[in-house]
Amino acid sequence: MGIPLDKASFLALFLETLFYGVFFTLYWLTLFVLFKKTGIQRQLLVPVATLLLCIATAHLIIDFVRALEAFVFKVDTIGANAYYSNPASPLELASKALYITQTTLADGVVVWRCHVLNHRSRFVAIPGCIVLIVNAATGYYVVWSLSREYALSNVSTATSGCITTFYTLTMFVSVICTVSIAWRIYHTRSSMPGGLSNLLPVFIVVIESGALYATSVLALLISFLIGSNGEYIMLGVIPPIVGITFCLIILQVHFHIGGSSSTEQSSDVGGILTNLFRGRSTRDHHFSMQRVAVHITEEEIVQSDNMSGKNSQPVTGSVFQL
C-alpha cells in the first residue's frame, strides 16, 4: 500500500529540513573557503551559492507554511490530505516554481562547467543551452497547467507528459555532463607520463558529486512514473541536495578529498582539481616548475589535444578549468 499524501508531505518537510541543515552548514564552509580566494571564483561562485541557498530557504519556508495550514489551521475544515491534493494552491505553485528555478540553475552550472572544460566549445554550449531552455520552458508550462487544475486526480495527460519530460531532461543533463567531465579528465591525464595512477581519486570526486544529484532525480522520475506519493518526498529534498552537491565539489577540491593513499598523490590530485575552480591570477606565475609539471592546466590540455591531432584553444580566466 502506498504512503498517503499527507504523510508523504509531512515526511518531505522533515527530510527537507534535515538536508537544508546540511546545506546551510556546507554553505558557510564554502563561503569561508571562497572568501580566501581572489578573482573570478569569488565573483561567480559566491553569488551562485548564495542564490541556491536563498531559493532553498524560500522553498523550505513555503513548505512550513503549507504544513501549518494543512495540519493546524485547516485541519478541521478540509483536512490535510484534501489540502495537499489541490495543485492550484498558490503556495503549491510557488513551491513548484522555486523547484524548477533551483534545478535549472544547477543544470546551468553543470553545463557551464562542462563547456569550459572543453575549451569553451560551441558544440557543448549550444546543445546545452538549448536543452536548458527547453527544460525550463517545460517546467514553467507545468506550473501554468497545474494552476488550471483543481485536483491531482484530474491532471491532464499533456501535463503528465511535460512533467516526465522535465524530470528526464534534468537527469539527462546531469548524467551526460558528469560523464563528459570524467572522460575529459581521463583523456587528458592518460596521455601524460604516469597519469593513469592518479585517475581514481579524480573520478571519485567528479562522479560522487554528480551521482548524488542524478540519483535523486532518478528516484523522483521513477516515483512519478509508478504513481507513488514518494514523488512529493523527493520534490522536497532535491532543492537542498542541489546546494549540497554544489558545495561538496568546492570543498572536495579545497581539502583534496579523493581517496589518495600518499601525500604526494594527494597533492597531485588536489592540484588537478583545484584548477577546476581557480581563475588565472597573478599568483599562478609564482608556482615552481615542479608543481606545474604535476598539474593539469589549460596549456597541458591543449598540448595533449595537439598531440592527438586536435586544434583547441586555451582556456583562460575560467572558473571550472582543469
- Per-residue pLDDT reduced to its tens digit, 131-143: 999 999 999 999 9
Note whether 13 and 67 are within 8 A (CB). yes
CATH of domain 5-254: 1.20.1070
Domain ranges of the chain: 5-254
Q: Whole-angstrom distance between the N-terminal and C-terminal Cα of the chain?
A: 49
Q: What is the mean pLDDT of the chain?
A: 75
How many angstroms separate the Cα of 201 from the Cα of each of 25, 182, 198, 262?
25, 11, 6, 12
Q: What is the pTM for the complete model shown?
A: 0.76
Q: Name the packing angle between helices 90-117 and 230-254 (round to 10°).
A: 40
Which phi-psi region, left, alpha or beta, contains residue 184 (left: φ > 0; alpha: ψ -120 to 50)? alpha
- Judged against a pLDDT cut of 50, whether residue 207 lies above it is answered with yes
Res 245: pLDDT: 86
- Judged against a pLDDT cut of 50, whether residue 71 lies above it is answered with yes
Higher pLDDT, 267 or 60: 60
Query: How far is Cα 72 from Cα 135, in angstroms, rounded to an integer?
Result: 36
Res 39: pLDDT: 64
Res 96: pLDDT: 92
- Closest to 201 (Cα-Cα) out of 110, 265, 114: 265
* Summary count for the chain: helices (H), strands (E): 11, 0
Sign of the torsion angle spanned by Cα atoms 187, 190, 192, 198 = positive
Res 298: pLDDT: 38
List b or e across 13-51, with b for residues whose CB sees 16 or more CB atoms inside 10 angstroms: bebbeebbeebbebbeebbebbeebebbbeebbeebbee
Query: How far is Cα 66 from Cα 283, in angstroms, rounded to an integer?
Result: 50
Res 138: pLDDT: 92
Over range 99-116, report the average pLDDT. Answer: 86
- Judged against a pLDDT cut of 50, whether residue 272 lies above it is answered with no
Q: Cα 170 to the chain's mean position, in Å? A: 10
Residue 276 pLDDT level (bands cut at 50, 70, 90): very low
Residue 151 pLDDT level (bands cut at 50, 70, 90): low
Higher pLDDT, 70 or 183: 70
C-alpha cell at 86: 489541490
Which single residue is written with the C-alpha cell 532553498?
A: 56
Over range 172-188, report the average pLDDT. Answer: 78
Res 154: pLDDT: 64
Res 19: pLDDT: 95
Min mean pLDDT across 112-121, 205-214, 255-264 is at 255-264
Amino acid identity for residue 280 in this structure: R
